[in-house]
Chains A and B, each alone.
Chain A
Amino acid sequence: MKKVFFEGILFIAIFASSVFLLSQINWVSIFKINEYRKVNEKKIGDILWDMIKSNHEENKNVFVHKTIDSLVARVCVANHIDKKDIQVHILESDEVNAFALPGGHLVIYSSLIEATDNPEELTGVIAHEIAHIQLHHVVKKLIKEIGISAIFAVTAGGNKTVIKQMGNILSSTAFDRQFEQGADMQAVEYLINANIHPKSLADFLQKLAEKENNSLKYLTWVSTHPNTEERAKYILKQSSNKKITAKPIFSPQTWKRLKKEIH
């Protein structure tokens, strides 16, 4: 019995030591896993963005772009995210929607900007989408929905039907609950670090939930981000015990001008 016990413990110890020692080697860097993922995500993202761009009118207003960029920059700088990794695109559309594409493309529809009541709400949505990008949810969603082989096929040469299907999946279908919650929790952290109260994101979700109940049309962001009321509750809960020093993002005049120019 003693021998069995001793050999059993030794067996576990050998395995645990092997895992420990091997995990000390920086395999992620040796195999260039992050670089490889980044290159592939960018490739897929660029293909998808080209397809989406061809079906929509892009907003080219310099002021609008600069203002939205400043919101993205605020989140990125406070959270040590390279701003160059996030490319913001504003599309003219009557759908209230925003979504992320692989490779750091962040697409915001003009109607979503119109639907927000203050820069904090808009930054809340942006932080949520940046969280999806940073947590690589977009590619994982595609793998789940269409399979890993289809993604390789797109990166290898491109299949128009699959690309179109990918675009539809990312712009008009929901992430699963686990990913949504993950992105919300990450967004709360991003907003707190950027001195923005996460309540703004919760408020926006509540507002959309109310509008959804009043059967307002075109609320795509609600349909792609379901359980809005429940999410608003846990965002508030998550931020309730955190010390938050909220600072204004920009002046009311700038916000007014943004709303005017986007209209």
Chain B
Amino acid sequence: MKTLLNEHEHEKASNSYLMSLVAIIGGLPLPIINLLATLFFYLNHRNDSYFVRWHCTQALFSQIPLVLLNTITFWWTMSIIFGNNFITNLYVGYVISVIIFNIIEFVATIYTIIQVRKGIHITWWFYGPLTNLICKIKV
């Protein structure tokens, strides 16, 4: 579904996803940085057009589970290095799952950046319907 908005609107909406990628690169190993980056971007653009707001919200929501999963990975790893825990099959299984989810999210984010930049509306699994519930067209 292609929108009839101007190029500038497309760019802003697309940048909301770009934020999370830039912050991932800059924020490693602190997983909270990408959430904060998308949150600040959302706060800055919450009064913009519906298209921009909608994508800022979806980008923000998509970061929340990732931050939770990555934070657990971070502290679990710390507890193995410094604490009483050991490397177990469950830990390795969890880390691999988190890496797979991060890769899926990374690929989906890049695809969405390109499509939204072209003005094509992309709705993600779960995050899209959730965004629809919260982000309404202002009358």
Listed in ascending order, the chain A residues whose CB lies under 8 Å from chain B are 1, 3-4, 7-8, 10-11, 15, 18-28, 31, 33, 135-136, 140, 143-144, 148, 178-179, 182
**Would A4 and B93 be within 8 Å (CB), given that A148-B81, A178-B84 are in contact?**
no
Which interface residue of B65, B69, B126 has the most chain A CB atoms within 10 A?
Answer: B126
Q: How far is the CA of A11 from the CA of B125 in the complex (A)?
A: 9
Contacts of A31 in B (CB 8 A): 92
Q: How far is the CA of A26 from the CA of B86 in the complex (A)?
A: 14
Contacts of B89 in A (CB 8 A): 23-28
Listed in ascending order, the chain B residues whose CB lies under 8 Å from chain A are 65, 69, 81-84, 86-90, 92-94, 96-97, 100-101, 125-126, 129-130, 133
Which residue on B lies nearest to A140, using beta carbons?
B82
Q: Which 4 A-B pairs have the closest CB atoms?
A: A23-B93, A22-B93, A27-B92, A7-B126
Q: Is the CB of B101 within 8 A of A15?
A: yes
Contacts of B81 in A (CB 8 A): 140, 143, 148
Q: How far is the CA of A73 from the CA of B120 in the complex (A)?
A: 72
Contacts of A4 in B (CB 8 A): 126, 129-130, 133
Contacts of B92 in A (CB 8 A): 22-23, 25, 27-28, 31
Q: How far is the CA of A19 from the CA of B98 in the complex (A)?
A: 9
Which interface residue of A1, A4, A33 has the most chain B CB atoms within 10 A?
Answer: A4
